[in-house]
Amino acid sequence: MRRLRAAAVPYLLILPGGLWLVIFFVIPLIALISLSTQQGDIVDGFTQTFHFANYATAWSNYHQQFLRSLLYGGLATILCIVLAYPMAYWIAFRGGARKSMYLFLILLPFFVSFVLRTVSWQYILGDNGLVLGPLKSAGIFPQGFRVLATGTAVIGGLTYNYLPFMVLPVYVALERIDFRLVEAAQDLYASRAVAFRRVVLPLSLPGLFAGVLLTFVPVAADYVNASLLGGTSNTMVGNIIQDEFLNVQDYPTGSALSFMLMALLLVGMFSYARALGTEEVLEVAAR
């Protein structure tokens, strides 16, 4: 009797939270999938007709934005790696007693609302904003020059907003490395470059992989940066989904796009994790 009760404990603990996730995460996903094959309009309502052509229409109308999301996501992720790695390396190996201070500084942007710091970039980069305004008055740039409403601005904004998600896992991985290994390699007359390539880099890979997961997925699905910093040819699939749901009320098209996005990203992510053969990637990512 008592053992039975003990066996029930974990289920009882997990029940309320689990139920919550089922009702407000799993079932809504099903509602989304269901809506994606419905037909109708907002006045007559939408009815389930298993109209899978919705997917084809959505793809043919918006594949450009879909592919652009992946492109921007990829570019921003690469930029994040380039910016984050040297920095995480320096903090992990040379940060000394100030490591936590540096990490704290990297997390500073999180204390300002995401929308607000992106708007702040809009002001900094504006055609007559804080940077270009004076430069244009000084005649360095022509009047028509712009940064805002270009792909560069969007990718820059994405990199800015998601950089900490790359720095942290890379830092955690690097920080675990016993520096004596590097010294041992150097004692064996490995050059610094070789020591890095053969010792540090392989040991930091799990962190890097986790960082890629943590940045690529939210970046590819983002629409705030494209909306605030982008222009006509910079919209991403997130903008379209937002538009279909919150402007046009064409729920089926929005649902179809949303489901395709999720399927693509989740499948990509799982096979990526599996290909690397480490559940550790998921473990680190889950943090």
* Residues in 197-226 that interact with other proteins by CB under 8 A: 213, 217-218, 220-221, 223-224
The H-or-E segment that residue 48 falls in is strand 45-48
Cβ pair 184, 260 in contact under 8 A: no
First vs last Cα of the chain: how many Å apart?
37
Considering only residues 96, 138, 139, 142, which one is a binding residue for other proteins as defined by CB under 8 A?
96
Considering the complex, state which of residue 75 and residue 149 has its C-beta at the smaller distance from other proteins.
Answer: 149
Distances (CA, A) of 127 to 121, 151, 152, 226: 12, 15, 14, 17
Considering only residues 112, 135, 140, 194, which one is a binding residue for other proteins as defined by CB under 8 A?
112
Which ranges of the chain would DSSP assign to H, the alpha helix?
Answer: 2-21, 27-35, 53-94, 99-107, 114-125, 132-137, 151-176, 179-187, 192-195, 201-221, 224-229, 237-243, 251-275, 279-286
Considering only residues 190, 228, 268, 272, which one is a binding residue for other proteins as defined by CB under 8 A?
228
Binding mask 121-150 for other proteins (x = CB under 8 A): xxxx-xxxxx--x---------xx-x-xx-
CA pair distance 237, 258, nearest whole angstrom: 8
Cβ pair 198, 190 in contact under 8 A: yes
Residue for token pair 């740039």: 141
Considering only residues 249, 267, 271, 275, which one is a binding residue for other proteins as defined by CB under 8 A?
249
Give the nearest distance from C-beta 18 to other proteins in angstroms: 6
Considering only residues 198, 269, 272, 276, which one is a binding residue for other proteins as defined by CB under 8 A?
269
Q: Is the dihedral of CA 149, 150, 151, 155 positive or negative?
A: negative
Considering only residues 59, 67, 140, 183, which one is a binding residue for other proteins as defined by CB under 8 A?
183
Residues 58-77 that bind other proteins (CB under 8 A): 61-62, 65
Give the nearest distance from C-beta 96 to other proteins in angstroms: 7
Give the nearest distance from C-beta 182 to other proteins in angstroms: 8
Give the nearest distance from C-beta 43 to other proteins in angstroms: 4
Considering only residues 1, 4, 47, 138, which one is a binding residue for other proteins as defined by CB under 8 A?
47
Give the nearest distance from C-beta 84 to other proteins in angstroms: 8
Q: Maximum distance among all alpha carbons in the chain?
A: 85
Considering only residues 10, 138, 139, 142, which one is a binding residue for other proteins as defined by CB under 8 A?
10
Give the nearest distance from C-beta 228 to other proteins in angstroms: 7
Residue for token pair 């903090």: 91
Cβ pair 114, 224 in contact under 8 A: yes
Considering the complex, state which of residue 75 and residue 196 has its C-beta at the smaller distance from other proteins.
Answer: 196
Considering the complex, state which of residue 75 and residue 228 has its C-beta at the smaller distance from other proteins.
Answer: 228
Considering only residues 1, 3, 17, 142, which one is a binding residue for other proteins as defined by CB under 8 A?
17
- If binding is defined by CB under 8 A, does position 80 make contact with other proteins? no
CA pair distance 236, 227, nearest whole angstrom: 9
